[in-house]
Amino acid sequence: MLKYYLLGVFLCCNFVSSAQESSSISVFFDINSSTANPQETEKLKRFINQLSSENVQSISLVAYADAPGSDAHNLSLGEKRLQNINKILNKQFPDSLFEFKNNSTTAKESPDYNAALRRVDLKFTLKAKEDLGPGIEYLLAQLAMQPDTFKIFNTKDTVLISKQGSLVYIPALAFQGARSDKPIQIILKEARKKSDMILEKLTTSSDGQMLISDGMFKLEAQQQNRSLDIAPTKSISFFKPKEADLDMPQLFYGQIEDSLHFINWKLNGSNSLNPFTDFQMGCCSFGNAYCPFFFCRIRQFLGMEIPQKAADSRDIRLLQAYFQKYEVTDIEQLKNALIKLNPELKDQLDSPEDMLQALREADRIAMEEGFSNGNINRGTLSYYLFNMGNLNWINIDSFYNLPKEELTTQKILVDVAGHTDVKIVFKDLNSVLSPNGTTNGAYYFKDIPKGEAAYALGLQYIKGEAYIAISEFKIGEKVELNYQKASLERIKETLKTIDS
């Protein structure tokens, strides 16, 4: 016959209405142990860190023991387990008064060891809350970015050009189970700037380690209100201009972690991240019989479909980049620099277009030599190419590695839990962080660079009204957020000020 003992501890012994909310958790113990193991202790700490002490009306603890052992031994063991949990609770709820009450019962079950009974159950009864309307997630949904949308057919190769200049190559029969006679809607989201990340509820961390991003992307495919997946033997190629100078960039896949769609980025072990230089977008125009690069195949496929305005704008940007590379300030100086390098070009550079072609040809030759001898310098790379084997958020990131002594924990007070979203946005780094949790009415951010310039950003949604607060500070300093009422448009415009 199974004997187990019930030990009850009640805090703040006020009558609690059944209409009030409560929150419960169980902590399990090893055989004959009065101290919770590290995994169970961490589980409990994560749970209570989500609770604000002023919102908890009462807490009850009930300890159980399994059958082996005498009644006196099990009763003593249960009391010690309660004391162990009590020490943890006191750190979060230091003003709570504990009153112990012991009861014992006998259960008609097996006398064997039973891991399910070696536990302490905790029930937190919460104070009645004022109705503040929909939570912060409602506001974030209204702020979400408008994606690029396209219609394609599954029967042919397709190249898409996004509003931000990325190229997406979708091969024929890329989508599993798609009908050939019906169009497929492609939905593309790109979050390159910090304001984009915030609007799309995206942050930059992988298992708690800070990341620096050079862009986040998500592709969706739908046909007749049905989501499609990429066929097992197919992949979609994505080409994106390099914008940040990352140290060892890698591809990460996003995994949604909570109700606010917080994303934890996981390294993608199967797909590679290949950067290339700009010359490859134009190499096929030089009359090469064969070019192995994806970009040349894209250029051949596109033909005259690149809008002239976009092409002109791209060429102007390239010329500006070449001004910097050759340390000149105008077209004539650039021409002279080219002729100095290759005198045969003296009578061939009649227009900026001629010079751009000659510059690209010089880049192409240099790159071919670099590929042949393995001396490609990371600083020359200016585009990323990667393949997508499934449709999900993908992030180009590098880890922000600092010694432990240069990291710290930052706390920021939270006014209205459930109706407030707080993030740290770094001023000089393309990085946005969500808090790791809450403690004593404050959000905390772990293992972030001490002294780094940043913004504390807060958004609130209370009784149908939106609020925003931005405060510039350095990590480690005390920071306060002062919220101001704002329309959706004002929030979006304000967020642009944090991009750098």
User: Which residues in the chain are classed under CATH 2.60.40?
Assistant: 404-496
Per residue of the chain (500 residues), give pLDDT as tens.
334 333 433 333 333 333 467 788 999 988 888 898 988 988 888 888 777 776 777 788 888 887 777 778 888 888 888 888 888 887 777 655 555 554 434 444 556 777 788 888 888 887 777 778 888 889 988 998 899 999 999 998 888 888 887 888 898 999 999 999 999 999 999 999 999 999 988 999 998 899 999 999 999 999 999 999 999 999 898 888 778 778 788 889 887 765 555 788 988 764 446 555 443 444 444 333 334 444 444 444 433 333 444 444 445 555 666 677 777 777 778 788 888 878 887 887 777 667 777 776 666 565 445 444 444 443 444 677 788 888 889 999 999 989 999 999 999 988 777 789 999 999 999 999 999 888 777 889 999 999 999 999 999 999 999 999 999 999 999 999 999 999 999 999 999 999 96
Which two structure tokens, joined as six digits, stand for 112?
Answer: 């064997």
- Where does CATH 3.30.1330.60 sit in the chain? 3-126
Structure letter (DSSP) for residue 55: G
Q: Is 209 helix (H, G, I), strand (E, B) or coil?
A: strand
What is the torsion angle, in degrees rounded to the nearest 10, for the CA atoms of residue 316, residue 321, residue 327 and residue 332? -20
Q: For the chain, what's the residue count?
A: 500
Identify the three-state secondary structure at position 335. Answer: helix
Whole-model pTM? 0.60
CA angle 176, 259, 229 (to 5 degrees): 5
Structural class in CATH, domain 3-126? alpha beta
Q: Which fold has domain 404-496?
A: Immunoglobulin-like (2.60.40)
